[in-house]
């Protein structure tokens, strides 16, 4: 589909976020006492392509398959032990979507609302998607969610974010079909995951953001230096805005060598990559997932200058619809005092931080129930009400 056809068809999308949510969730949203968790996942291992060769899910499918059996045999579940946390993560990862969803919901008050973030794991490893693979890994997620909603029409207060990957040649179709409700449900927003191997300022994404800004579609972008990533040592023809050797912003495609997965993730996930996006679309509703991540928060804790955390806060100051969710980063108790201090000392940070815990990725850090309560109690009711109730409503609606 060409760009003009995409824009033409996108005109049909409503700019009213309430048109995208199921009827039974509307009163739940309108009751401002109900919490909104903006960052969680309910997909399972079926979305990870079998022939993985350059993508690193925290735990790849084959690894998971072998390890799960082994770990379950040799250890029970205790909170102390990294391996048992990993075993628990694996057992969830291999569970049916419904089981993962029910478990998530069980940790929260009955009327809580969730934004499950979906994932496109295909393009991190190759550029051409075969139709059968498309059916298997991407469409399957839509079907899975649709089935969940159809079987239990009023059970879940879920507002899904669909995966948008500019390297997927069907991306415009996915976007339009999704927001037209052709998958059986309408998504709330879109998820961008740069470390799968693209810059957030990719020209295809710029076209999509134009529609997002016009239609009030919120975006959550992965922003930490770790987690799932693609990894190709040599990436040719990287499209989008970047700073060249002379320190000047350029759209000249570049080819780059990466000598570690970390440098790869750092290059693609850096919040600086959003500079030109926000310049072009200053009203974009954008959430930086993980708020830069625990590594960057620890740098800030040590008094380091120029962290991703500061970069994101800089965007808060310049752009009215930029947010950051604290998920996964809030599984590190050593960071609680710093997070709380920043929330209470700056009204900007207080207004723009969002609540999430990155279920179920975060269970590698311990029991979910305990991680949740430890964070909630450390922050206190005033902060949780602000970041979990008031702010997400501004971000989503």
The least CB distance from residue 222 to Zn ion, in Å, is 7
Select 223 or 309, whichever has its Cβ closest to Zn ion.
223
Span of 101-109, 235-243, 338-346, 358-366 interacting with Zn ion by CB under 5 A: 358-366
Decide: is 358 part of the binding site for Zn ion (CB under 5 A): yes
Nearer to Zn ion (CB atom), residue 197 or residue 289: 289
Select 186 or 191, whichever has its Cβ closest to Zn ion.
Answer: 191
Q: Which stretch binds Zn ion (CB under 5 A): 29-37, 80-88, 305-313, 357-365?
A: 357-365
Quick one: which segment of 187-195, 340-348, 351-359, 369-377 binds Zn ion (CB under 5 A)? 351-359
Pair 361, 92: CB distance under 8 Å:
no
Piece in contact with Zn ion (CB under 5 A), picked from 142-150, 210-218, 245-253, 353-361: 353-361
Closer to Zn ion by CB, 57 or 235: give it. 57
Q: How far is the CB of 59 from Zn ion (least distance, A)?
A: 14
Q: Which residue has 């970390």 as its token pair?
A: 262
Please state the closest distance from residue 42 (CB atom) to Zn ion, in A: 11
Q: Which is nearer to Zn ion, 116 or 166 (CB)?
A: 116
Site for Zn ion in 231-250 (CB under 5 A): none
Give the nearest distance from C-beta 296 to Zn ion in angstroms.
16
Smallest distance from the beta carbon of 364 to Zn ion, in angstroms? 12
| Minimal distance, residue 290 CB to Zn ion, in Å | 7
Residue 144 or 358 with smaller CB distance to Zn ion: 358
Residue nearest to Zn ion (CB): 358
Helix H, strand E, coil C: the string for the chain is CCHHHHHHHHCCCCCCHHHHCCHHHHHHHHCCCCCEEEEECCCCHHHCCCCCCCEECCCCHHHHHHHHHHHHHHCCCCCCCHHHHHHHHHHHHCCCHHHHHHHHHHCCCCCCEEEEECCCCCCCCCCCCCHHHHHHHHHHHHHHHHHHHHHCCCCCCECCEEECCCCCCCHHHHHHHHHCCCCCCCCCEEEECHHHCCCCCCHHHHHHHHHHHHHCCCEEEEEECCCCEECCCEEEEECCCEECCCCCEECCCEEEECCCHHHHHHHHHCHHHHHHHHHHCCCCCEEEEEEECHHHHHHHHCCCCCCHHHHHHHHHHHCCCEEEECCCHHHCHHHHHHHHHHHHHCHHHHHHEECCCCECHHHHHCCHHHHHHHHHHHHCHHHHHHHHHHHHHHHHC
- Is residue 120 a contact residue for Zn ion (CB under 5 A)? no
Q: Which is nearer to Zn ion, 44 or 207 (CB)?
A: 44
Binding residues for Zn ion, total number by CB under 5 A: 1
Q: How far is the CB of 361 from Zn ion (least distance, A)?
A: 5
Q: How far is the CB of 197 from Zn ion (least distance, A)?
A: 17
Of 120 and 358, nearer to Zn ion (C-beta) is 358
| Site residues, Zn ion (CB under 5 A) | 358
């Amino acid at each position: 589909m060409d760009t003009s056809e995409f824009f033409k068809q996108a005109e049909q999308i409503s700019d009213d976020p309430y048109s995208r949510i199921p009827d039974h969730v509307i009163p739940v949203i309108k009751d401002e006492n109900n919490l909104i968790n903006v960052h969680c996942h309910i997909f399972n291992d079926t979305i990870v392509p079998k022939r993985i060769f350059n993508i690193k899910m925290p735990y790849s499918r084959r690894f998971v398959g072998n390890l799960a059996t082994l770990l379950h045999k040799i250890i029970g579940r205790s909170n102390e032990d990294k391996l048992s946390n990993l075993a628990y993560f694996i057992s969830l990862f291999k569970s049916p979507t419904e089981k993962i969803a029910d478990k998530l919901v069980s940790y929260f008050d009955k009327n809580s609302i969730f934004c499950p973030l979906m994932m496109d794991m295909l393009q991190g490893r190759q550029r051409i998607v075969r139709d059968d693979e498309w059916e298997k890994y991407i469409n399957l997620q839509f079907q899975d969610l649709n089935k969940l909603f159809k079987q239990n029409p009023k059970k879940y207060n879920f507002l899904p974010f669909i995966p948008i990957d500019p390297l997927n040649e069907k991306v415009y179709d996915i976007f339009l079909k999704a927001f037209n409700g052709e998958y059986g449900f309408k998504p709330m927003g879109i998820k961008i995951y740069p470390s799968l191997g693209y810059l957030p300022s990719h020209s295809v994404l710029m076209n999509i953001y134009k529609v997002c800004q016009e239609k009030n579609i919120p975006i959550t972008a992965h922003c930490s230096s770790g987690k799932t990533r693609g990894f190709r040592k040599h990436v040719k023809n990287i499209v989008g805005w970047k700073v060249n050797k002379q320190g000047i912003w350029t759209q000249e495609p570049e080819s780059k060598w990466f000598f570690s997965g970390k440098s790869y993730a750092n290059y693609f996930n850096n919040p600086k990559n959003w500079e030109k996006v926000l310049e072009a679309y200053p009203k974009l509703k954008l959430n930086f997932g993980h708020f830069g991540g625990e590594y960057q928060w620890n740098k800030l804790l040590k008094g380091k200058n120029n962290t991703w955390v500061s970069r994101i806060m800089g965007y808060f100051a310049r752009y009215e619809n930029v947010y950051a969710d604290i998920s996964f980063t809030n599984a590190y108790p050593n960071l609680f005092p710093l997070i709380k201090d920043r929330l209470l000392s700056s009204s900007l940070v207080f207004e723009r931080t969002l609540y999430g815990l990155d279920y179920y990725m975060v269970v590698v850090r311990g029991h979910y129930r305990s991680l949740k309560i430890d964070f909630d109690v450390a922050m206190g009711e005033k902060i949780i009400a602000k970041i979990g109730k008031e702010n997400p409503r501004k971000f989503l609606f």
